[in-house]
Amino acid sequence: MTHSSRDTDSEPRTASPPAAGGGASARRRLGAALALAILAIGPLLPTLRAPFVYDDTTIIRDNVFLRGWGAIVHVWSQPYWPTEGVDALGLYRPLHMALLATVWNLTGGSARAMHLYALVLAAIAALGVWWMLRRGVGAGAALVGAAWFATQPLHVEAIASVANSSELVMVICTVALVWAIGSFQPTPGDKRRDWLRAMGIGLLAAAAIGAKESGLLSVPLAALTVWGWRRNGQPEALGRFVQRNVRAWLAALVGVGIVLMARVVVLGAPVSHGSIAAQGLSSLSGSERVTAMLSLWPRIVGMLVWPTGLSPFYGPSIFPAHRSGLALLSGAIVIALATICIAVARRGDRRPLVALGWVMLTYFPASNLLAATGQILSDRTLFGATVGVAFAIAWGLDSLPQFGRRLATVIIAIVIGRAMLVGTHYAIAWTSHRSLWLRLAESQPSEHLSYKLLGMDARARGDTARALELLERAFAMAPADRQLRFEVGQAMYSAGRFGPAANTLAPLLKDGDARAEPGFIALYLDAVGRAAGPEAVVRAASSLLHSESASVAALFLGVALEQLGRPAAADSAYAVGLKHSAADSALLSRRAALHGAMRQ
C-alpha cells in the first residue's frame, strides 16, 4: 500500500472518529513541538547571562550602523564587517544585519535580548527541520531525527555568538523555500496565482542570500528536498518537476540577482579584492589546499556524529600529518556514497540523495575547495550539514524493521543525552571572553591565538606579568602576527622593559598602516627614549619625519633636541611637523614655549 506525501507525517491511525483522531494528532504534534523547542533551547540557556563576546563585540556592540530605526534600511548599503572597509572581506549580509538592528533598537542594545533572539531562531530552525522530516518519514523517525538536530553541540557557536546566527536565518529561509515550493503547487490556467507564488519564492531566495553568502544554494537545495524527500508514492520525473515550476525558478533567479547586484554596488566587486585566506591556507597552492581540506573530512565526520573538543577557532595545527592518504580516502568515500545514493534514487527512494545533498551543498561554500576563505574550519559552517545528518538518521530509522528501529532509537536517545551535556558545557564557555579563550587553549593547545587572546585579556585586567608571559608564548609560536608583535611590545613597555619593547616594535615601522598610527609611533619613540636616551630618539624620529606620522615624530624629535641643548634644531623640527599638521595643538604649544624660552 502506498502513501501520499501528506500521509507520511504520522503513524497509521486507528478507526476513531475523525474529529477525535484529528484532535489527538494535533495535541501530539503540539507536545512534540514544545519538546523540540525545549531541547533546542535548554542546553543553551547559560548564554542568556553572557555579554557580547567574540565577533559580537564588533558586529553588534560597537557597530554604529545598527543604531536608530533607520539602520534597518541603512545596513543594506553597508558591508558586513563595519571596521574592515568596503572590500576587505567581501562579506555582505544585509538581511541578517537588518534583523540585528531591529532587535537592537527594540531592546536598547540589550545583550540578553540578543541572545534570546538567537535562542528563538534555534527553536524555529529545529521545528522547521522537524516539519521537513515529516514530509518523508513516519512521525517517530521524524521526531528522533529532529531531536538529534536540536541538541547538536556543533550549533552552540552559531547561537551563542549572535553574529553567527546568520547560519540559522539562512537555514530557516531554506525551510521556508521548501514549504513554498512544495506546499503551493502551480495551478494550470491560473497565471496570477502562479506568479504570486513565484514572487514569494523569489523573495525567499533573496532573503536566503541576504542572510549569508551560502544562501546562494538555498533554492537548489530546497528544490532537491521537495523533489526527493518523499516516502513511497510515485516519484516525479526531474524534467517534469523543473518544467512545472519554471516561473518559480525565474523569480528566484531575479531575487538572487538583485541581491548580487546590490552586493557589487556596496562592496565594489563580486568578491574581495584581496586575499582573505586564513592563516595556514594562504601559503598553499590550489591543489595543496584541496588536499589539506579533504584530509580534514574524517575529523568533520567525527564532529557531526560524536562531537568532542569543540572550539571557537581551528588553526593550521588541525591538519593531519598524512594529508594525501586521508584526502584520497575521503574522496573515494564521498564518491562511493554519492554513487550509492544515486543508485538508490534510481530505484525510487531519493531520500538518501537529499540527505547527502544537504551535507555537501551547505558545507561546500565554506569548504575551501573552490577558493580559500577566512577560516580553515568552524563549528558554525557545519550547521546546515547537521540538517543533512538529521535527514539521514530519520531515513535510516524509517527503513529499519520495528525491532531495529527501537534499538536504534535507544542508541540515538543516549547520543542526544550526551549531546545535551556537551552542549551545555560548551555554552558555559561562551559566557565570557576569558572562559572562551581558556576553552580554546584547552582544545587547541598548539595554536597561538588562545595565548594571544588570554594575554590581551590579562593586560586589560592589569595583570601585566601574566599578560607578558602569555603574549611572549604566543609570539614564539607566531612571530609573523603583526598585531601580536604590537601587543607584546605594549606589554613589555608596561612592564618597564623599554629596550626589548623598542626592538620588538621596530619591524612594524616597515608597515605603512602602522606608521600612520600616532599611538604606535608615540609608544615606539617613547620606548626608545626611555631605553637609550634623547640621542637615540633623534636618530629614530628623524627617519620618520617625512612619513605618515610626521607630526608625532616631529614632536618627539623636537623634545629630544631641546634636551640635548639644540633649540634652533628643535624649532626646525616643530616647523616640519606643522607643515604636515598645521593645527596640531601639541606642536603649537611646544613651539610657543620654546620661542618664549629662546627670547629670555
Residue 272 Cα distances to 33, 56, 285, 290, 364, angstroms: 42, 22, 19, 20, 18
State residue 15's pLDDT score.
Answer: 39
| Cβ proximity of 231 and 5 under 8 Å | yes
- 10 Å Cβ neighbour count for 243? 11
- 10 Å Cβ neighbour count for 300? 18
Mapping DSSP to helix (H, G, I), strand (E, B) and coil, where does residue 88 land?
Answer: coil
| Cβ proximity of 141 and 394 under 8 Å | yes
| Cβ proximity of 117 and 378 under 8 Å | no
State residue 11's pLDDT score.
Answer: 38
Which phi-psi region, left, alpha or beta, contains residue 565 (left: φ > 0; alpha: ψ -120 to 50)?
left
Separation CA 109–CA 66 (nearest Å): 9
- 10 Å Cβ neighbour count for 181? 24
Q: What is the pLDDT of residues 311-359, one digit of tens each?
A: 999 999 999 988 999 999 999 999 999 999 999 999 999 999 999 999 9
> Which of these, 178, 150, 219, lies nearest to 393 by C-alpha position?
150
> Which of these, 216, 304, 297, lies nearest to 253 by C-alpha position?
216
Written as one string, the DSSP assignment of 111-157 is HHHHHHHHHHHHHHHHHHHHHHHHTTS-HHHHHHHHHHHHT-GGGHH
431: confidence class by pLDDT, cuts 50, 70, 90: very high
183: confidence class by pLDDT, cuts 50, 70, 90: confident
State residue 130's pLDDT score.
Answer: 98
> Which of these, 150, 596, 212, lies nearest to 416 by C-alpha position?
150
What stretch(es) of the chain map to CATH 1.25.40? 505-600
Half-sphere exposure of 11 (CA within 13 A, CB side): 10
Separation CA 373–CA 168 (nearest Å): 20
Helix (H) or strand (E) holding 161: none
State residue 3's pLDDT score.
Answer: 39
Mapping DSSP to helix (H, G, I), strand (E, B) and coil, where does residue 586 land?
Answer: helix
State residue 511's pLDDT score.
Answer: 82
State residue 13's pLDDT score.
Answer: 37
Q: What is the mean pLDDT of residues 394-416?
A: 95
* The dihedral sign for the CA sequence 467, 473, 476, 479: negative
| Cβ proximity of 209 and 166 under 8 Å | no
pLDDT at 253 over 90: yes
| Residues β-bridged to residue 377 | 314
> Which of these, 569, 320, 328, lies nearest to 446 by C-alpha position?
320
| Residues β-bridged to residue 314 | 377
Q: What is the pLDDT of residues 3-45, one digit of tens each?
A: 333 333 333 333 344 444 567 788 999 999 999 999 999 999 9
Q: What is the pLDDT of residues 49-82, one digit of tens each?
A: 999 999 999 999 999 999 999 999 999 999 998 7
pLDDT at 367 over 50: yes
Fold of 505-600: 1.25.40
Q: What is the mean pLDDT of residues 256-268?
A: 93
